[in-house]
Amino acid sequence: MTTTAVDPSVGLTAAQVEERRADGRTNAVPDAPVRSFGQIARANILTPVNAIISTLFVLILVAGYPADALFAGVVVANSGIGIVQELRARSTLRELELLNAPAAVARRDGASVELAVSDVVADEILVIGSGDQIVVDGEIVSAVGLDIDESLLTGESDAMSKHPGDDVMSGSFVASGSGLYRATAIGSDSYAAKLVDEARVFKLADSELRSGVNTILRWLTFIIPPAATLLLIRQLGSDDVDTWQEALQGTVAASVAMVPDGLVLLTSLAFIVGIMSLARHQALAKELASVELLARVDTLCLDKTGTITTGEISYGSVEVLPGIDDGFVSDALGALGASDPSPNATLAAIVEAHASPDDWTADEVTPFSSARKWAATHFTDRGSFYLGAPEILLEPGDDTLGAVARLAEAGSRVLLLAQSDGAHQGERRPDHLEPLALVSLEDTVRDDAAEILEYFNSQGVTIKVISGDNPATVAAVARRAGVRNADTGVDARTLPDPDTEFDAFTTQVLSTPVFGRVTPHQKRAMVRSLQSEGHVVAMTGDGVNDVLALKDADMGIAMGAGSPSTRAVAQLVLLDNRFSTLPLVVAEGRRVINNIERVANLFITKATYAVLLTLIVGLAGVPFPFLPRQLTLIGTFSIGIPGFFLALSPNEALVRPGFLERVLRYSVPAGAVSGIAAYVVYDVTRRMSDVTLAEARTCATITLLSAGLVVLIVVSRPLELWKVALAAGMGALYIGVMAIPFLRNYFQLDLPPSDAWPVVAAGTAIACVGVWLVPLIVERLTVDRD
């Protein structure tokens, strides 16, 4: 198809846009990796746990005991709750993602209009400036000091200078400068779309919690089949088991108990509820695991501007150096500000204070770059004027640096205005510059910054402030915000090279709380150095200079008002720019982590005693101590109902590493004590001449449920009134089942004779003390050994 030439200053006309839409030449990209309703339903219904429970349901029906099929209700509960909660979360997150979605600015009919990325059409003329994403592939048609960072696509660390005729790839972003480019490859034909096409599959991000839960499930998949097979074979050959149906009934009972049917559900439910809770505070978490990451963070790296400060830069004053005309400086500042078609916040503040003179003509512009830390413009017949970091533009020892230090120590952001009469040297700083004036700009520290930083300090989180500003300025702002040990800031230009002296660089980073004059690549190196020492690092930022560090941090946090590139790579976006949301994220993460640990203790305790009982009964060749319906009753009152409340309850306890080891250290001994005590009570009472099999099973049920309620109380610590009431309520419900004839008969809970009760009481007492005491002994022995 022939492409009509498009005037970059005008862009496409309305007719040309409609023609391209009619031809299908629009930026239709594959949907983001979000599951459809059908995928959500399948993922929540067709699970390994549901498959096992459904198989056991069929087997119990084949055996002719439909009353024992009560356990199958967990399939409906798991699937229904999982589907509803994920749909609610998807709806909530979609609303927030609309606020966070990248936009494009296009030239149409001679005007600049903002478009959704999906509304871009072929040959569109797109406007780009510092921090903007390249949303489709294209060809540069005009550029002013345009540097494109393609590191997220190619791994190339240095930004690439772009000129008319050069290609740009979607997925890269503007490091500095501004320009126009024409869309050449859109939709699925774009470079970034091709790269991620094979990866566009919805997946849950890795997390320590989910990894631990999955490890437990893998172990059980190897343990359950042989244990159940052994039990079935022994039951079929036992003289105490009359029919194959009873043998199958006992095997199903054991298998149901060994499956941690609600653990996966409550884990996912806790994550989803956490995500939705953050969404209500305008915090967009892009992955389920994001809700736990910040709770595990032990080092928080803050970019000064837009994080500790509000990000609103106000013009302070100008200090004209001796012998320089005030009016000349004002004209130069106004002309510099007006020369950049896409000024950053600093230049925008200067433009408001200094009008642009009519007789200054810019003929070459070098926009500000975080790497260079200065901007420059050459004006016809007037020379080149530079505005940037004094320490970069001035020679060491220059007298002007004394005045810079004085202003910086007061907390002002200081820029130097300097002039060069020689030829403009583009991105290279001239050997000699004449200082003209010092410009002071003011950052406003957030009202709640001190309180929030003190919260993180109290939680054992190390704070590091990393900024591109003057070290003295950064330190002054950090002190005002309450950062500890921020007496001075270290100039990052004096740090060892992380590429050749990584160990020395890391040592300096670990010991220093405040850094100034940090380049984007140094920020990334700082994050990596902290990670190399085992730290879990969060990085906050809002500018294009933060992108690389945000991408590499364990938890990247961007402000909603930040550049599109930072919002694209961050795992958490604070859409309302409220720094005060971070403690809420920490609290939510702690709730999820600590509560899932509690719930996991309950389920693994149950799986442990079920496996142990299966092995003991399989070796002894006696009838199984419980019917499936009785184990369902025990699981519901000691795990299922209380586990639901525990998983969603408030919990801001400090997060400790070693989730899986800690769960196994408690639940395996507690489960072993519970299982042994229940079997001993069952075996002793079963051998009594006046006790029936049903009565012996009732004795075992009382013992196991009592032990389960003590486990519930232990894992609920620290105890609160509602937790004690929850355990007491579960016990009262069981008493109610025993008291109501219909329910007692349904669950086949026959009251044992009086001479069996001392055995029940003794066994129950030993079990209750054991599930509290034995894990403590095991933990002490394990810790002492370590």
Query: Are 542 and 307 within 8 A, CB to CB?
Result: yes
What is the pLDDT confidence band of residue 529, given thresholds at 50, 70 and 90? very high
Mean pLDDT in the chain? 85
The amino acid at residue 771 is V
* CA separation for the pair 496, 506 (Å, rounded): 9
Q: Report pLDDT digits (tens) over 255-264.
A: 888 888 777 7
Active site includes 68?
no
Quick check: 496 pLDDT over 70?
yes
Quick check: 1 pLDDT over 60?
no
Query: Are 118 and 138 within 8 A, CB to CB?
Result: no
What is the pLDDT confidence band of residue 202, given thresholds at 50, 70 and 90? very low
* CA separation for the pair 473, 304 (Å, rounded): 10
Rounded to the nearest 10 degrees, what angle do helices 721-739 and 693-715 cross at? Answer: 170
Task: Tell me the average pLDDT across 564-578.
Answer: 81
Task: Tell me the average pLDDT across 771-777.
Answer: 90
* CA separation for the pair 64, 631 (Å, rounded): 18
- Structure tokens of 663? 């769960």
User: DSSP 3-state assignment of 363?
Assistant: strand
- Structure tokens of 621? 């060749």
Q: Report pLDDT digits (tens) over 316-338.
A: 899 999 999 999 999 999 999 88
Backbone φ and ψ for 125, nearest 5 degrees, come out as -95, 115
User: DSSP 3-state assignment of 311?
Assistant: strand
Neighbours of 351 (CB within 10 A): 18
Neighbours of 739 (CB within 10 A): 9
What is the pLDDT confidence band of residue 307, given thresholds at 50, 70 and 90? confident
Beta 125-128 vs 103-108: how paired, if at all?
antiparallel
The active-site residue, picked from 303, 331, 443, 546, is 303
Query: Are 250 and 234 within 8 A, CB to CB?
Result: no
Query: Are 176 and 128 within 8 A, CB to CB?
Result: no
* CA separation for the pair 526, 513 (Å, rounded): 12
Beta 374-379 vs 309-320: how paired, if at all?
unpaired
- Structure tokens of 688? 């009594």
Has this prediction a pTM greater than 0.75? no
pLDDT at 332: 94
Beta 514-516 vs 537-541: how paired, if at all?
unpaired
Query: Are 258 and 611 within 8 A, CB to CB?
Result: yes
Stated length of the chain = 786
* CA separation for the pair 562, 572 (Å, rounded): 12
* CA separation for the pair 467, 264 (Å, rounded): 42
pLDDT at 274: 80
User: Given the structure tokens 């400090």, which residue do they identify?
Assistant: 654
